[in-house]
């Protein structure tokens, strides 16, 4: 899914793959016109070809990158902020002088290119802070110049395996304020999910888990999916949906292993990974079908994040360095992508994933160990709180209507329509386009979820799905496997919330646990379920306090929990609740609500 916040596509595909073109390759351009990708990044600026791409694919998002050497962002020119800003402006001006950017080539009054990157993979994340702050100055100057000229700048574009949310918040505040689009490079070897799976299945490392992770091991996401680790660890908590992610390079390279391992792709004939490294030494070249399975996995993850626009396959049209031929996606991979690709209308897909409110992503945290103390649920009473009063339930207004959403995920296999409504033993009626009616029972197919069901979806057209008084119309192609997960969310206005310091103070020492008393009162006449309830800090830390709860009409959920801060400073604590099913809370931003007012904490 893609939220269409800034650039809007007329249609969406069942994948997010785009092209990365390094030179004027006619076969690459032919593939563009054949597959009509939504995102194209190119180091070639042939005016007539670029103009034709824009004319024949009106909704394509076209990104340019100008190769420069050396990559001077001020560190080679004095190392001052002034030098960095000067170099940023110079880089922008150099790009703006490219023939393709001249006004005479505009299409309908707009430039051919939508966006431009500046420098490429400039340094690793462990580079000293002063150098990184210098790059922030550079990116801001470059971005402001490009924005003034009518182009979007794309920030960062660091090498694979780099990026840390708190680090970016600290060292790149200007970049995060200036830019809408953030670029990431993501690779692994010998499969794209290798290090991710090691992280999920390894030892529990609570300090490495992040909101939006799976709550297993250290949450993975260290190479491929690094963008999710970065964005969900502070950036989306602070900026909400301000930023759109573009994976400006992705694929597989032996180079992720470092040392003598060469930066060569899946079609390389030699394996340069040292023999004493388990997991990295495999027969080469990688079988096409094995790599294709990696790409399918990666796409299935990209489709979960609506703030991701697309992922550019490096490379689709290799030109320049001979070793780039080992990354080539033209040929068997492109043929598989063309066969896999299905068109879905934007009004259909984007409706399934509403844009989360700012900071809501902070709630999408893995469920961590619950505290030993059980909550006390009792009848609500008139309570004097820190900022609001909890009214008597007898005076409660009518319950705001809950709303249902759904997430659709296409896949490979038989043309089945499988679903999950989240609860068992409910009647599900499916009316197919040819008039056939299937009467199903939720939970009859638990492999698809607690409320799983299954039927054939091999007839193209609109499928009407009815259950629990709800009616949905889902258009299907009839040619592929489709899973649809339904989710009921209570309205946050169904509850009133108060939190207070248990110990009656707001000043604590570094490492000392700050205990908070929470009260959540259901002011309606219907039960209010929630998937996750926890404490959110202004530093991006999230502590799950309870999960899979239900607050009955007129009752108050009472609980105490605490967390510690590892550095001095001023922080804010808020209660964050996800009013969706727990699995939906962990996999998306839907249903999360931060409650005001929060608590101000001073750590000394």
Residues 468 and 531 reside in one and the same domain: no
Q: Is the pLDDT of residue 350 over 70?
A: no
Strand partners of residue 472 = 465
- Which of 332, 347, 362 terminates a domain? The answer is 347
CA distance 225 to 89: 32
**In contact, 16 and 298? CB cutoff 8 Å:** no
Q: Is the pLDDT of residue 385 over 60?
A: no
- According to the model, what pLDDT value does residue 529 have? 84
* Nearest Cα to Cα of residue 592 among 511, 536, 510: 536
Q: Is the pLDDT of residue 345 over 70?
A: no
Residue-wise pLDDT tens digits, 216-256: 999 999 999 999 999 999 999 999 999 999 999 999 999 99
* Dihedral sign of CA atoms 214, 217, 223, 227 in order: positive
- Which of 446, 475, 490 terminates a domain? The answer is 490
Average pLDDT across the chain, whole number: 87
**In contact, 43 and 23? CB cutoff 8 Å:** yes
Lowest mean pLDDT among 93-102, 111-120, 326-335, 530-539: 530-539
pLDDT bracket for residue 549 (50, 70, 90): confident
Residues 306 and 414 reside in one and the same domain: no
Instruction: Mark 230-258 as b/e (b = at least 16 C-beta within 10 Å).
Output: bbbbbbbbbbbbbbbbbbbbbbbbbbbbe
- According to the model, what pLDDT value does residue 3 have? 85
Mean pLDDT of 430-440: 92
Residue-wise pLDDT tens digits, 25-62: 999 999 999 999 999 999 999 999 999 999 999 999 99
Residues 89 and 165 reside in one and the same domain: yes
C-alpha 61 chain-centroid distance: 19
Share of the chain above pLDDT 90, in %: 64
Q: Is the pLDDT of residue 355 over 90?
A: no
- According to the model, what pLDDT value does residue 402 have? 64
Axis-axis angle for helices 288-302, 332-340 (nearest 10):
40
CA distance 166 to 129: 13
**In contact, 111 and 151? CB cutoff 8 Å:** yes
Mean pLDDT of 342-370: 39
pLDDT bracket for residue 368 (50, 70, 90): very low
Q: Is the pLDDT of residue 563 over 90?
A: no
Sequence-ordered list of residues with C-beta below 8 angstroms from that of 83, at least 6 positions apart, any chain: 74, 77
- According to the model, what pLDDT value does residue 357 have? 35
- According to the model, what pLDDT value does residue 579 have? 86
Residues 417 and 515 reside in one and the same domain: no
Q: Is the pLDDT of residue 352 over 80?
A: no
Tokens read off for 135: 């790059």
- According to the model, what pLDDT value does residue 400 have? 43
Q: Is the pLDDT of residue 588 over 70?
A: no
- According to the model, what pLDDT value does residue 2 have? 85
- Which of 282, 313, 347 terminates a domain? The answer is 347
Q: Residue 306 domain-assigned?
A: yes
DSSP E strand stretches across 172-304: 181-188, 244-252
Residues 314 and 461 reside in one and the same domain: no
CATH number for the domain harbouring residue 430: 2.60.40
pLDDT bracket for residue 373 (50, 70, 90): very low
Q: Residue 27 domain-assigned?
A: yes
For 407, 421, 468, 490, the CA distances from 424, given in Å and listed in that order, are: 19, 8, 12, 19
Using only C-alpha atoms, the chain has a radius of gyration, in whole angstroms, of 26
In this structure, the strands spanning 17-21 and 308-313 are parallel
Peptide bond just before 222 cis, omega within 30 deg: no
CA distance 474 to 114: 33
Tokens read off for 192: 């794209």
**In contact, 580 and 486? CB cutoff 8 Å:** no
What's the domain range around 597?
A: 495-603
Residues 409 and 506 reside in one and the same domain: no
- According to the model, what pLDDT value does residue 41 have? 98
Q: What are phi and psi of 254, to 5 degrees?
A: -65, -20
- According to the model, what pLDDT value does residue 392 have? 35
Q: Residue 396 domain-assigned?
A: no
Tokens read off for 390: 């909890």
pTM assigned to the model: 0.61
List the 528-537 sheet strands across, edge first.
Answer: 507-508, 592-603, 569-578, 528-537, 542-551
Residue-wise pLDDT tens digits, 170-197: 999 999 999 999 999 999 999 999 999 9
Instruction: Mark 376-396 as b/e (b = at least 16 C-beta within 10 Å).
Output: ebeebeeeeeeeeebeebeeb
**In contact, 438 and 432? CB cutoff 8 Å:** yes
Mean pLDDT of 555-569: 88
CA distance 32 to 407: 29
Query: Is the pLDDT higher at 349 or at 63?
Result: 63
CATH number for the domain harbouring residue 125: 3.20.20
Q: Is the pLDDT of residue 369 over 80?
A: no
Residues 318 and 452 reside in one and the same domain: no
Residue-wise pLDDT tens digits, 84-127: 999 999 999 999 999 999 999 999 999 999 999 999 999 999 99
Residues 465 and 574 reside in one and the same domain: no
Query: Is the pLDDT higher at 375 or at 269?
Result: 269
Residues 336 and 473 reside in one and the same domain: no
Q: How many CB atoms lie within 10 A of CB 107?
A: 12
Q: Residue 354 domain-assigned?
A: no
Q: Map residue 345 onto helix, strand or coil.
A: strand
| Number of domains comprising the chain | 3
Residues 480 and 529 reside in one and the same domain: no
Share of the chain above pLDDT 70, in %: 89
DSSP E strand stretches across 86-191: 115-117, 152-158, 181-188
Q: Residue 373 domain-assigned?
A: no
Residue-wise pLDDT tens digits, 473-511: 898 888 888 999 888 878 888 899 999 999 899 999 998
**In contact, 331 and 229? CB cutoff 8 Å:** no
Q: Is the pLDDT of residue 351 over 70?
A: no
CATH number for the domain harbouring residue 534: 2.70.50.60
Residues 190 and 259 reside in one and the same domain: yes
Q: Residue 336 domain-assigned?
A: yes
Q: Is the pLDDT of residue 16 over 60?
A: yes
Residue-wise pLDDT tens digits, 204-218: 999 999 988 899 999
Q: Residue 363 domain-assigned?
A: no
Q: How many CB atoms lie within 10 A of CB 43?
A: 19
Dihedral, 478, 482, 488, 489 alpha carbons, nearest 10: -120
Residues 427 and 558 reside in one and the same domain: no
Q: Residue 484 domain-assigned?
A: yes
**In contact, 280 and 190? CB cutoff 8 Å:** yes
Phi-psi region of 139 (alpha: psi -120 to 50; beta: other; left: phi over 0): alpha
pLDDT bracket for residue 587 (50, 70, 90): low
Range 95-101 contact pairs with CB under 8 angstroms and sequence separation of 24 or more: 95/64, 95/66, 95/146, 96/145, 96/146, 96/149, 98/45, 98/64, 98/66, 99/45, 99/47, 100/45, 100/46, 100/47, 100/50, 100/64, 101/149, 101/151
* Dihedral sign of CA atoms 21, 22, 28, 33 in order: positive
Q: Is the pLDDT of residue 386 over 70?
A: no
């Amino acid at each position: 899914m893609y939220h269409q916040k800034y650039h809007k596509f007329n249609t969406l595909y069942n994948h997010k793959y785009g092209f990365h073109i390094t030179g004027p390759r006619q076969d690459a351009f032919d593939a563009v016109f054949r597959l009509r990708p939504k995102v194209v990044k190119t180091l070639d600026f042939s005016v007539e070809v670029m103009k034709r791409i824009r004319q024949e694919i009106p909704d394509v998002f076209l990104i340019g990158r100008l190769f420069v050497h050396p990559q001077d962002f001020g560190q080679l020119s004095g190392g001052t902020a002034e030098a960095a800003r000067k170099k940023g402006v110079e880089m922008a001006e150099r790009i703006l002088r490219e023939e393709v950017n001249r006004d005479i080539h505009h299409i309908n009054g707009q430039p051919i290119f939508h966006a431009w990157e500046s420098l490429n993979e400039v340094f690793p994340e462990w580079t000293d802070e002063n150098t990184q702050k210098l790059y922030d100055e550079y990116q801001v100057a470059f971005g402001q110049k490009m924005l003034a000229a009518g182009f979007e700048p794309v920030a960062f574009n660091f090498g694979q395996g780099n990026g840390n949310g708190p680090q970016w918040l600290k060292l790149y505040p200007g970049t995060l304020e200036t830019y809408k689009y953030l670029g990431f490079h993501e690779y692994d070897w010998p499969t794209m999910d290798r290090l991710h799976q090691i992280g999920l299945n390894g030892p529990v490392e609570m300090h490495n888990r992040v909101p939006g992770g799976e709550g297993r091991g250290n949450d993975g996401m260290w190479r491929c999916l690094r963008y999710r680790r970065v964005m969900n660890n502070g950036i989306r908590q602070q900026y909400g949906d301000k930023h759109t992610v573009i994976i400006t390079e992705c694929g597989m390279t032996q180079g992720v292993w470092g040392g003598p391992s060469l930066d060569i792709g899946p079609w390389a004939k030699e394996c340069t990974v040292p023999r004493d490294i388990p997991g990295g030494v495999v027969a080469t070249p990688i079988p096409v079908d094995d790599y294709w399975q990696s790409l399918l996995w990666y796409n299935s993850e990209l489709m979960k994040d609506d703030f991701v626009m697309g992922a550019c396959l490096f490379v689709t049209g290799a030109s320049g360095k001979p070793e780039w031929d080992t990354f080539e996606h033209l040929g068997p991979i492109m043929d598989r992508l063309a066969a896999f690709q299905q068109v879905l209308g934007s009004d259909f897909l984007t409706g399934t994933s509403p844009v989360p409110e700012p900071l809501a992503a902070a709630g999408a945290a893995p469920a961590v160990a619950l505290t030993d103390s059980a909550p006390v649920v009792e009848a609500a009473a008139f309570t004097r709180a820190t900022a609001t009063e909890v009214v008597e339930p007898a005076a409660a207004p009518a319950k705001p209507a809950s709303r249902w959403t759904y997430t659709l995920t296409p896949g490979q296999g038989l043309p089945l329509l499988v679903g999950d409504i989240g609860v068992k033993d409910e009647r599900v009626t499916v009316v197919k386009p040819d008039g056939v009616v299937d009467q199903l029972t939720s939970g009859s197919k638990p492999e698809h979820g607690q409320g799983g069901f299954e039927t054939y979806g091999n007839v193209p057209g609109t499928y009407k799905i009815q259950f629990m008084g709800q009616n949905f119309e889902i258009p299907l192609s009839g040619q592929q496997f489709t899973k649809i997960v339904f989710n009921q969310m209570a309205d946050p206005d169904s509850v009133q919330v108060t939190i207070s310091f248990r110990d009656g103070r707001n000043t604590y020492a570094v490492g000392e646990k700050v205990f908070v008393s929470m009260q959540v009162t259901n002011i309606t006449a219907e039960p209010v379920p929630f998937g996750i309830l926890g404490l959110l800090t202004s530093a991006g830390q999230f502590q799950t306090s309870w999960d899979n709860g239900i607050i009955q009409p007129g009752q108050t959920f009472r609980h105490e929990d605490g967390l510690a801060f590892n550095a001095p400073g001023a922080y804010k604590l808020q209660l964050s609740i996800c009013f969706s099913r727990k699995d939906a809370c962990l996999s998306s931003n839907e249903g999360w609500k931060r409650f005001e007012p929060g608590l101000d904490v001073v750590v000394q």
